[in-house]
């Protein structure tokens, strides 16, 4: 059965309701650490289990790769899921966290859905058809001057041991722009590029499940999605998404 965007939205919104119920009852939330400074909550586990059950019941032809449960056997055509992107924000009662679900067929991203339950913003995209926020088409900003731009990034504390920990790059870019933001959810950051709320976003050392859905949404909204050298493609190690107009001004600052 082909995937219906309507069914996908229902499933992702239901998953959002599970997460939101736990978010409203944070004092009873069980939080553990996968490794130092890497949190996982019972909400992450419950949302992923729900998505895995629902998606494989509706669409048994696809495999499943989730952050918390790993991969099923079929790796070429699969759902790529981050049950809660922005877990740390979630545990603090902040609003910027999202459920991220992408469909990859033969290693090509074809559908993406990112739902931020605390904001009730649902973003989705279909390859070649466009991107939408809460049912309305969205597109990237028209800002063409890096000096006036608003740029988002992320710093993963668990990767602070890396020689390139993003701090020098952040300083270089901050000196050339007007606004910098760190929202705490890469999936949502990419949707903000798609919706023109920020003019660019970059981060390093992510995983495909952090960015798969958001990157497709950004691309379908007109974003340039590249690595830090400007090569087009979806690179979890070095993702740079821009409105396209400030790409050439940002690239010299990336390396
Ligand atoms: C994290 C978020 C955050 C980014 C981290 C990710 P998680 O995902 O996307 O914005 O800076 O690198 O690990 O752990 O909350 O799913
Ligand atoms: Ca994530
Ligand atoms: Ca996660």
| Per-position DSSP letters for 35-96, written without gaps between them | ETTEEEEHHHHHHHHHHHHHHHHH-TTSEEEETTTEE-S--SSEEEEEEEETHHHHHTT-S-
- Assign 20 to helix, strand or coil: helix
Task: Report how far ligand 2's centroid is from the alpha carbon of 133 (Å).
Answer: 20
Q: What is the pTM of this model?
A: 0.97
Whole-angstrom distance, CA of residue 96 vs CA of residue 122 = 13
* β partners of residue 123: 114, 133
pLDDT value, residue 73: 75
pLDDT digits (tens, 9 = 90+) for 66-109: 999 999 876 789 999 999 999 999 999 999 999 999 999 999 99
Location of each CATH 3.40.190.80 domain in the chain:
146-254
Q: Give the Cα-Cα-Cα angle 234, 229, 75 (nearest 5 degrees).
A: 20
Ligand 1 atom, smallest distance to 155 CA: 11
pLDDT digits (tens, 9 = 90+) for 127-172: 999 999 999 999 999 999 999 999 999 987 666 677 888 999 999 9
Instruction: Say if ligand 1 is within 6 A of residue 87 CB.
Output: yes
Domain boundaries 146-254, CATH class = alpha beta
Whose Cα sits closest to atom 1 in ligand 1? 86
Whole-angstrom distance, CA of residue 49 vs CA of residue 56 = 11
Location of each CATH 3.30.540.10 domain in the chain:
5-137
Tokens standing for 25? 């009852």
Asked: is 5-137 a CATH 3.20.20.70 domain? The reply is no
Whole-angstrom distance, CA of residue 121 vs CA of residue 106 = 29
- Assign 183 to helix, strand or coil: coil
Strands (E) in 86-177, as ranges, are 98-105, 108-116, 121-126, 130-133, 136-137, 150-153
Tokens standing for 146? 């890096």
Instruction: Say if ligand 1 is within 6 A of residue 83 CB.
Output: no
């Amino acid at each position: 059965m082909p995937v219906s965007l309507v069914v996908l939205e229902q499933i992702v919104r239901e998953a959002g309701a599970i997460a939101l119920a736990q978010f409203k009852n944070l004092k009873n939330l069980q939080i553990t650490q996968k490794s130092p400074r890497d949190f996982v909550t019972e909400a992450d586990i419950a949302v992923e289990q729900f998505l895995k059950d629902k998606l494989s019941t509706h669409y048994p032809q696809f495999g499943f790769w989730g952050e918390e449960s790993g991969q099923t056997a079929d790796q070429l055509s699969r759902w790529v899921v981050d049950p809660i992107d922005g877990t740390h924000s979630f545990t603090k009662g902040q609003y910027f966290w999202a459920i991220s679900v992408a469909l990859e067929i033969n290693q090509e991203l074809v559908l993406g859905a990112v739902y931020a339950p605390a904001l009730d913003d649902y973003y989705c995209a279909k390859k070649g058809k466009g991107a939408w926020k809460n049912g309305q088409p969205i597109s990237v900003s028209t800002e063409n001057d890096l000096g006036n731009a608003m740029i988002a990034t992320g710093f993963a504390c668990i990767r602070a041991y890396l020689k390139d920990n993003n701090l020098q790059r952040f300083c270089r870019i901050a000196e050339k722009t007007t606004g910098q933001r760190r929202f705490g959810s890469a999936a949502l950051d990419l949707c903000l590029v798609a919706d023109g709320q920020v003019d660019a976003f970059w981060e390093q050392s992510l995983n495909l499940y952090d960015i798969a859905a958001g990157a497709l949404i950004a691309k379908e909204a007109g974003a340039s999605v590249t690595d830090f050298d400007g090569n087009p493609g979806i690179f979890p190690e070095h993702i740079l998404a821009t409105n396209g107009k400030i790409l050439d001004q940002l690239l010299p600052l990336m390396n």
